[in-house]
Structures are given as structure tokens and as C-alpha cells.
Structure 1
Amino acid sequence: MNNALDLFSLEGKVAIVTGGTGVLGGAMAHGLAAAGASVGILGRRAEVAQSVADSITADGGRALPLPADVLDKETLIAARETIMGAWGRIDVLVNAAGGNMSGATIFNDVTFFNMQEDAFDQVVKLNLHGTLLPSQVFGEVMAEQGSGSIINISSMAAEQAITRVLGYGNAKAAIDNFTRWLAVEMAQKYGEGIRVNAIAPGFFIGEQNRDFLLNPDGTHTARGQLIIDNTPMSRFGEPDELVGTAIWLASSAATFITGIIVPVDGGFSAFSGV
């Protein structure tokens, strides 16, 4: 190969980003498209999925909205049919759908002892089942092709205990194990061309956590400042800072990489606090 940068090209590849209507998923969808991929924007909010797809198209990329629910297999199968009808293959799946729920967060009136089991189940289902089902539906195409890259989204809450986020932390810890398990399963049964990895973001400002981390005037809350104090780079991440890792894991530059969880966290996971 004459140009090493060609290893990172996604030209000719087809990617699906679940949660592509969110801040982090949307950033990765834009990044994959800029690297050459045709990208399906999968999310429950049809109008937002259309808006993200339109934005990618306006930037010169290729994108389709895929209104679907990651917990509804029938809508995922319909999305698969749309992608296969339009582009004929699926090379990359980014499982970016997920998030936290207040009922499974130990905060204010919710304690470990009065937290409702249903709330815990809901956040685990959103994150774990919401990764499992798309991996089944879209990963089946990869198995038939003998090639593909599945990229799950983990969290710093999977690696070490972070106060409050009981349900979310347990769900993301399960994502880490699922990533390793599926990496082995795919490689052993369907060939070395199918890889499964995860990205573990550090702390990024999104729709769900903004009020926990930032005051209305933009200054840090006490919890936000505690995170900054334990992040060696002393700042929150920017959504675009996930793009490079996503492109790398999706591309030919990572053909011998499977079953790993990559922190993108400003050093948070490396720091002991001392």
C-alpha cells in the first residue's frame, strides 16, 4: 500500500449508527461519513434521524435515516431491509444507543434500598438489550458476508465504581463482557473478518448529564468539578474526539484487533486520584 492513510479509509463501506440522533452517536456518524462510509442513522425520533442524515448529505456524505427502536426487533429488521435495499451490505455497526435513567440512579430520594427493580431493569435493558438486538439483526449480515466491525459503547462506569449510577454502571459492565464474548464467537464461528470491540468514553457533556455536570452559567457543579479533578487533562471530552477511535476500529487499520475496550477519557481511567 502506497499511502498508510488508505488503511483508515471507509470508502465503499456501509455503517449503521444506533443512537445516531444523539450527541455522541451523531458525531461518530458524521465522522464515519467523512471517512467515506455510507451511514444509516438509526433512532426512535424519525425527524431527528432525517435531520442528521440531511446534515451529512449537505457536507457531501451519504446517509439514510433509519427510524427504529433498538428494543424492537421488528423495526430493526425493517431498518436492515432498508439498508440492504439501498446499499446491499453492512460493514460497520456502532451501538451508540443507550443512557441512564433517574429511577436507577442513587440520588436524592432514591436509595439502594428503595430503588425499584423495574427501574434497574429498564436501564439494563436499554443499554444491554439495546446492544444485543442490533448486533443480532445487523451482525447476521456480517456473518453471511464473512466481514464486518461491531463497535459497542462502554463507559468509565464499567471499569470502576462511580457513585449514583448503579443501573448504568452494571449495564455497561455487561457491555464489556458482551464485547469480549461476541468477539470470540464471531471470530471462531464466522471467520477472522468479523471484529467486535468497544469504546469507553470518559466524561462528555450530553443531553442526559448536562444538569449534573454544569450549572446554568456554564460553571462546573460540585460533581462536575470532582470529575475534572480526577481527569488528568482537566476537561470534559468533545464529541468529535470519539471519531478517530471509531474510524480506526471500523477500518482496515484494525484488522487484527478484536475483543478490546478502548478508553477515550483524558486519562481518567489511568489516574488513582493521588
Structure 2
Amino acid sequence: MGILEKFSLNGKVIVVTGGTGILGKSFVKALAEAGAKICIIGRSQEKADERVKLVETLGGTAIAVVADVLNEEEVVAAKNLILEKWGTIDGLVNAAGGNIPGATIGPDQNLFDSNVQDTIKAIELNLYGTIIPTHVFGRVIAEKGRGSIINISSLAASRPLTRVLGYTVAKHGIDGFTKWMATELALRYGDKVRVNAIAPGVFLTDQNRALLTREDGSYTERAQKFINGTPYSRLGDPSELEGTLIYLLSDASAFVSGETVFVDGGFNSWSGV
């Protein structure tokens, strides 16, 4: 197999949860360009259908499935639909997640007056919203003895970020879950079943827009701090995650498992000096 062939996902069936989000859009686009068949899972039929149209304009194949990643029955129903249509699953991208407004603790807010239930909801969305799909779709991958699972970690799992407690706790859990599943799956199902994570830097999305931009579109003080702490001196563009995603899903990364790959313009590496 030539090196370019190793990066191909031609004919592979890849499930993308959170495929209706901004980062999910880049993931779906990249998968279509790599030749994959894509199942786009989200809570909005309209947005999921838009993603299918995007794939089709690129000459690819996709289906839209509405499901809540926190509802195991809905996730199982999605799995059954995929198997009925395509017969297998080769990869899973756990892109569902993000922060929720009530779980953000403002700088002028008393830390202990924050709504603990909102913090718990953020943990559930990001952590349980990865664990549940992994157990449902991952079983298909494991039992066929071949496939790749990608989780979405964060800078928050390496460098504690102020204000977003629930998100931070959840992403630490994602890192631990990634290593644990990578180990267990390899020991039980062999060296063709892999689990890795991508830790994006700061990308402007619907979930963090209120924290990073003002009404006039200018950057907030928080956004500027991120930029100042990044050697690239800018925020990331979602398209800059695409290469890492394809690499980790493809045979090009056949001996890579249990890793978290930072795509952050050097933020995690820099001391600031």
C-alpha cells in the first residue's frame, strides 16, 4: 500500500456525532473528500440534512440521523439504521459536545453561587455524550476487529481554563476514557482497533461565541488572552483540524492509539516567554 493510499477512507463507513456543529461541518467535509460514507448524527433534522447536501455536492455519500447522544435507545436505533443500510461501521468521531451557557461562571460571579446542575449538564454532554456512542458504535468496530474511534478533548484538559468548570472536568474525563478504551480494546480485540483524541485549540464556534466576541464582532478580553498565549498569535480555523482527523481515522496512523493530539497553534507548548 502506497503512502497516499494509507490516508484514504474510500468506502469506509464513518459515524459523526455532533455533525451539525461548526467543527462537525469541517469533519464531515474532510471525510467526504477522503471518500468515506458518512452518517451525520445531530439533534436538528434541518442542519443534518444541510450536511448531507454538502457531502453530495462534494460527490460523496451521507445519511442524516436525528438522535440525542445522551439517549442510549436513540443511539442504538441509529446504529441499527446504519447497519441496515451499509452493513458495518469502520469509524466513529465523537464530536458532540461543547459548553452550555448556564455552566459558564462569570468573573464577577460568586463561584459558589453558580448553578451546580448546569455544571453537571456540561459534564454529561461532553463525557457521557462520548461514552454512550462509543459503547454502542464501538461494539460494532470491536467485534469486526478493525476500526478507529476519535474523541474530542480540549486545552482545558491540559491547562485549566477559568469560567468553564463542567467543560474542564468533562475533558479531563475524555482523556482518561480515551486511554482506558484504547488499552482495553487492543488487549481484548487486537491491534487493529484504535482510540485517540484530538485536542483543538481555540476555534470560534456557536458555543463559545459569546465568550470570545462582542456584538460588533470584535474580540473580547478573554479571546485576546488566548491569542496572546498562542505562538501563532491567532485563533484556529476549523479546517485546520481536518488533516489530523483523517490521519487518525486512516491506516496512516496504524500504530497510534491512546494518544491526544493537540491542534492548537502551539498554545499547550508555550510558556509565554
Structure 1 position 142 matched with structure 2 position 176: no
Structure 1 position 228 matched with structure 2 position 227: yes
Mapped to 1, the partners of 2:126 and 2:270 lie a distance apart of 26
Mapped to 2, the partners of 1:70 and 1:111 lie a distance apart of 32
Aligned twin of 2:194: 195
Superposed CA offset, 1:184-231 (max 9, x none): 010011111110000000000000111221223332211111110001
Letter matched to residue 170 of structure 1:
V
Aligned twin of 1:114: 113
Aligned twin of 1:156: 155
Whether the 8 Å contact between 2:199 and 2:260 is mirrored in structure 1 is yes
Deviation at 1:73, TM superposition (A): 0.7
Whether the 8 Å contact between 1:90 and 1:141 is mirrored in structure 2 is yes
Question: Within 5 Å, which residues of 2 pair with 1:13-32?
Answer: 13-32=12-31
Aligned twin of 1:33: 32
Whether the 8 Å contact between 2:89 and 2:140 is mirrored in structure 1 is yes
Question: Within 5 Å, which residues of 2 pair with 1:32-51?
Answer: 32-51=31-50
User: For residues 108 and 230 of structure 1, do their structure 2 counterparts lie closer, same or farther at Cα, with a shift above 3 Å needed?
Assistant: closer
Letter matched to residue 60 of structure 1:
G
Question: Within 5 Å, which residues of 2 pair with 1:178-257?
Answer: 178-257=177-256
Mapped to 2, the partners of 1:66 and 1:244 lie a distance apart of 25
**TM-score, with normalisation over the residues of structure 1?**
0.97
Superposed CA offset, 1:115-156 (max 9, x none): 222112111000000000000000010111001100000000
Mapped to 2, the partners of 1:194 and 1:116 lie a distance apart of 39
Whether the 8 Å contact between 1:69 and 1:75 is mirrored in structure 2 is yes
Whether the 8 Å contact between 2:107 and 2:163 is mirrored in structure 1 is no
Mapped to 1, the partners of 2:54 and 2:83 lie a distance apart of 22
Deviation at 1:103, TM superposition (A): 2.5
Aligned twin of 1:75: 74
**TM-score, with normalisation over the residues of structure 2?**
0.97
Deviation at 1:108, TM superposition (A): 5.2
Percent of matched pairs sharing the same residue: 51
Mapped to 2, the partners of 1:238 and 1:144 lie a distance apart of 36
Structure 1 position 94 matched with structure 2 position 108: no
Where 1:40 maps in the other structure, the secondary structure is strand
Listed as ranges, the gaps of 5+ residues in structure 1 are: none
Aligned length: 273
Mapped to 2, the partners of 1:182 and 1:100 lie a distance apart of 24
Q: CA RMSD in A?
A: 1.1
Where 1:220 maps in the other structure, the secondary structure is coil
Whether the 8 Å contact between 1:42 and 1:49 is mirrored in structure 2 is yes
Letter matched to residue 79 of structure 2:
R
Mapped to 2, the partners of 1:123 and 1:211 lie a distance apart of 16
Deviation at 1:110, TM superposition (A): 4.0
Where 1:268 maps in the other structure, the secondary structure is coil
Deviation at 1:109, TM superposition (A): 6.0
Mapped to 2, the partners of 1:118 and 1:109 lie a distance apart of 20
Where 1:113 maps in the other structure, the secondary structure is helix
Mapped to 2, the partners of 1:219 and 1:135 lie a distance apart of 38
Where 2:112 maps in the other structure, the secondary structure is coil
